[in-house]
Amino acid sequence: MDEALCTYIRNDRPFLGICLGLQLLFEYSEENGPVKGLGLIPGVVGRFNSSNGFRVPHIGSNVLQIAKDSEILDEIGDHHVHFVHSYRAIPSDDNKEWVSSTCNYGYDFIASIRTGNVLGVQFHPEKSGGKIFCAFNVGLSVLRRFLHPSSRGTKVIACLDVRTNDKGDLVVTKGDQYDVREQTKENEVRPRRSFIAIIS
């Protein structure tokens, strides 16, 4: 998928990488490697150093230091976000124009990036919010701002379940009270197809 992803990004399409999705944008990673990345951002992804007394992996909430406007981070301020990772992207002079926020866990690491339509976060939006962190749902804010920015109208249908009806037409099914199998005249079972659709 590397060529398809690079082509998609170079065509200025909206992209949000989460955790490993951010890390794969860099030149290479030391995890099980060195392993070559997509090379869109200069720099390396290295392992946290546990010799300084910090536990690895870095698991839990931490506060971002915002470096520049990122649009998706506008409402976050000093709220906590949730991390689960043993490797982190290392900030450098070569990649500082990409960095929209950093975080400190023994030393600074890249917490988010942004250039044009390319965004990435090391933290997990889906784990950053609700009663554990604060009344304000940080994760939903990040995802909402990515999906509904002022400059573009990208929509994501999280799960689209499609099957054929008796006439052979594709129909969308939803909910959890439907039969996932369909009987044909020949008493054969047609499998249901599920996929994620991104529409922009």
pLDDT digits (tens, 9 = 90+) for 144-153: 888 887 644 4
pLDDT tens readout for residues 20-41: 999 999 999 999 889 999 999 9
User: Same domain, yes or no, for 175 and 119?
Assistant: no
Is position 134 annotated as part of the catalytic site? no
Task: Give me the catalytic one of 6, 27, 71, 124.
Answer: 124
Domain extent for 19: 2-147
Catalytic residue, chosen from 6, 19, 27, 71, is 19
In this structure, what DSSP letter does residue 152 have?
-
The model's confidence at residue 133, banded by pLDDT at 50, 70 and 90, is very low
Last residue of a domain, one of 147, 171, 189: 147
Q: Are residues 88 and 170 in the same domain?
A: no
136 and 183 in a single domain? The answer is no
Task: Give the tokens for residue 77.
Answer: 């301020």
Complete DSSP assignment for 82-102: EEEESEEEPP-TTTTTTEEEE
pTM above 0.75, yes or no: no
Same domain, 119 and 169: no
CA distance 2 to 4: 5
Give just the sign of the alpha carbon dihedral 165, 168, 172, 175.
Answer: positive
**126 a catalytic residue:** yes
* Same domain, residue pair 63 and 143: yes
19 part of the active site: yes
Is there a single domain that holds both residue 103 and residue 133? yes
How many angstroms separate the CA atoms of 162 and 43, rounded?
Answer: 42
Same-domain status, 44 and 100: yes
Residue-wise pLDDT for 58-111, tens only, equals: 999 898 998 887 788 887 766 789 999 999 999 999 999 999 999 999 899 999
**Residue 133 and residue 162 in one domain:** no
Count how many domains the chain has: 2
30, 126, 134, 148: which one is catalytic? 126
